[in-house]
Amino acid sequence: MRRNRNVKIVATLGPASDGYEMIRDLFLAGADVFRLNMSHGSHDDIRQRHKLIRQIEEEMERPICILADLQGPKLRCGEFADGPYELEEGASFRFDLDEAPGDASRVRLPHPEIFAALQPGSTLLVNDGKIRLKVTDCSPEHADTVVEVGGEISNRKGVNVPDVVLPLAALSDKDRKDLEFVCELGVDWLALSFVQRAEDMHEARELAAGRAAVLAKIEKPAAVKAFPEILDASDGIMVARGDLGVELPVQAVPPIQKRLVRGCRAVGKPVIVATQMMESMIAAPVPTRAEVSDVAQAIYEGADAVMLSAESAAGDYPVEAVRTMNAVAEEVESDEIYRQILEAARTPSRERVADAITVAAREVAETTNVKAICCFTHSGTTAKLASRERPRVPIIALTPMIDTARRLTLTWGLHCVVVNNRVERFKMAVVNAARAARNYGFASEDDRIVVTAGIPFNTPGSTNILRVAPVQERAIYEGEPE
């Protein structure tokens, strides 16, 4: 099985997409990566979903990527005696550590670390930004505010602090337990919420200990400011536009999305564009035109993946949402303007031999009648470098490592194939590449492919050889002119 597009689709699993048949239908409709949201569901629920995905992977004989999304610390106010209450613009309101039920003038905020970071003039957002308050006075035990934008406040509503870096670790106690559970279970990627600084990623990477790749969710203004350092410390990035749109002016989100996608492309790390991509399909069988344009824009930018959240996890039309996203991707990628945009945004990189080899592979493929670029990879580096080039021909990533194949499934344009034996000679790499190109319909006996690899084999980052090879196996062995 192969996709007729390069961008990948991430589908979140939940109550609407729990069983074997539904997950299988989502895969057949176009889902390449399944997201397990650790904010919802027990460990038993997560374990069962993981098991079903791996069963479908075995049945389909195609690597499937599993991404576990950690919840992160949740900042919420306390409970009210008789609420909800309506906060009027210009009114005074206090947050404090008092455990007494709240009323129209105050409520508990059980996070002393917030009070430690606040200053007069800081902004507090409540209930996904629907209520905006400005701090007028604060201490380690309280914050007095004035209501700038009013609205209804009720029990345990979320609180955002957009303009200060909070002295909070991105990993809560729950996250640490969840991280260990999913790493032992065998997920391929970890998504870390509430990232504010590169140190958050260093901690997550240390705990993962190589068992899963680590992805930073960019959802706070502090993370946008520290993005170069966070990107350097991460294996990938998720542009989590929902929380960004709460903590920043909504008009700031599109240019931020473009900058983050381009930054990831420049260094060859996968980037997912997420949140509210087809939100209306939670309750409707077709998306709005604006949502289709939003998905298309992320694809035009060259994002590695686009993501469905509640649309596939809790909506009424999960399969239709994936199928629609797949159709949008195929349509966009058939547009010549798509190629022009991708190529205009390409960042030249020839610092290493591996960079030069992958650039040359793309140029050879695009200037001769070559049907595919085949990358032999152990760690995934060779394939990710090929993907960074965004070539016009398909990329086949061949590896003896099932874990590598699964992780690479998130990356733009990669069709991942697990070879059954470790390859020690380059000629056998070419033979395996030719077989994969034929078997998956990328090329016929009369065609040619580009093969890249690193010699010696099984050495990460050693890409140093390129060959234009015939697909016909007899020609490879006989050394006929290529």
Residues tagged active-site: 35, 76, 217, 275
Query: What beta strand segments (E) does 141-275 contain?
Result: 142-149, 151-153, 159-160, 189-192, 213-218, 236-240, 271-274
How far does CA 345 lie from the centroid of its chain? 20
User: Token digits for 173?
Assistant: 């106690």
Nearest to 410 by CA among 296, 327, 305, 333: 305
Alpha carbon distance 152, 159 (integer Å): 13
Nearest to 346 by CA among 317, 308, 388: 388
User: Token digits for 195?
Assistant: 């990232």
Alpha carbon distance 335, 5 (integer Å): 12
CB 440 within 8 A of CB 368: no
b/e string for 323-345 if b means 16 or more Cβ within 10 A?
A: bbbbebbbebbeeeebeeebeeb
Describe the crossing of helices 253-267 and 289-301 by its angle, rounded to 10 degrees: 30
Give rounded-to-5 percent helix, strand, coil for the chain.
40, 25, 35
b/e string for 231-249 if b means 16 or more Cβ within 10 A?
A: bebbbbbbbbbebbbbbbe
State residue 209 phi and psi, 5-degree precision: 55, 40
CB 19 within 8 A of CB 52: yes
Find tokens 């499937």 and name the residue: 64
The two most distant CA atoms of the chain are separated, in Å, by 85
Q: What is the 3-state secondary structure (H, E, C) of 262-281?
A: HHHHHHCCCEEEECCCCHHH
Q: Are strands 123-126 and 131-139 parallel, antiparallel or unpaired?
A: antiparallel
CB 475 within 8 A of CB 444: no
